Amino acid sequence: MMTIAFSSHHAEVLPFARREMERHQVIVLEEPRSPNFSDMLEGRLPIDEYMLELDSGFPQFEKRMCAMLRELHHRGRQILQVEPYLDKLLRIHERFAEGDRPKDVAKEPDLAAVYAAERHATGTLLDYYVASLKASFDQVVEAVKAFAAADADRLKLREVLRAQAIKSMVLDDVDTYIEAGYIHFPLYLYLKRALGPNQKIRIAYLLAPIVRRLGGIRRNLGPGDLLTLQYALHGGAPKDVASLLAARSLIYIKLLQKDELLPGVSEAPHAKDMVKVNGIVDGLSFDDCHVLFDQLRLAKRERALEIVGAYQAGLHRGLKRA
């Protein structure tokens, strides 16, 4: 059995990931290779020291994940880090640190495609950041769409490389768990193509039961991720659909909780927050987003929630939609 488990890097996902991982002999992680990974798994390197080399926005997730992987390793699971795109990206950064010029890296056959994809995506992301500070709403929306298209190209290359790597190292008769973020659905398509019709691939959305219980839809993906997937899976979207998703994404990112949250009173605080924010932005038209963006451009999250709440309350009272 081969399972692609779609999840997030939030601590709330770990109990569900554990249950899935325990059913498989091989665990394939969505992360670049680390020279110290084996030492961490074996206990020769403390987890806190291992984490010093990680660049994670969710350190509590990483710490708990390492402890869980170490336990599974001692119980006989084979754990592999398989993410060739990120391996190549790290090599590119090392080459630059050693003094190589961009044109030198761009000519390297093994690195050229990743360098081009990353350069394009990063360039469009920077264009969006600049536009978001002072450009008109319509210009910012176009910048979001340009980044989503470039990000989709990067995503497809990443999944092609990962599918090829997984095919080369995983045996057909070995139960294998493959970690993947929610936006990485194209991996399923490329892996299915690489392995052929005889290999059955099961999909597991780890937080699906909780998301359904909370009333979430679309696997709890935000509008920006939906737009990227439209480009990655279909080559684009109708102009009005793409513009609406891009516009909603501008409001979504102002409302979403960015800090790491740990399970407590809520067993899945990040999923709960994403369901809440998706519920808000799903009710916004393109013109609503235009009005709100002008008010939210420089607002902090708490103030942004107040502004959007007041705006929607006005709509519910029957005020004319902007």
Contact 11, 263 (CB under 8 A): yes
Round to whole Å and give the CA distance between 141 and 131. 9
Instruction: Output the pTM of the full model.
Output: 0.93
Q: Of 241, 229, 27, which is closest to residue 37 (Cα–Cα)? A: 27
pLDDT per position as a tens digit, 81-96 = 999 999 999 999 999 9
pLDDT per position as a tens digit, 219-276 = 899 999 999 999 999 999 999 999 999 999 999 999 999 999 999 989 999 999 999 9
- State the greatest distance between any 2 C-alpha atoms of the chain, in Å, as a whole number: 65
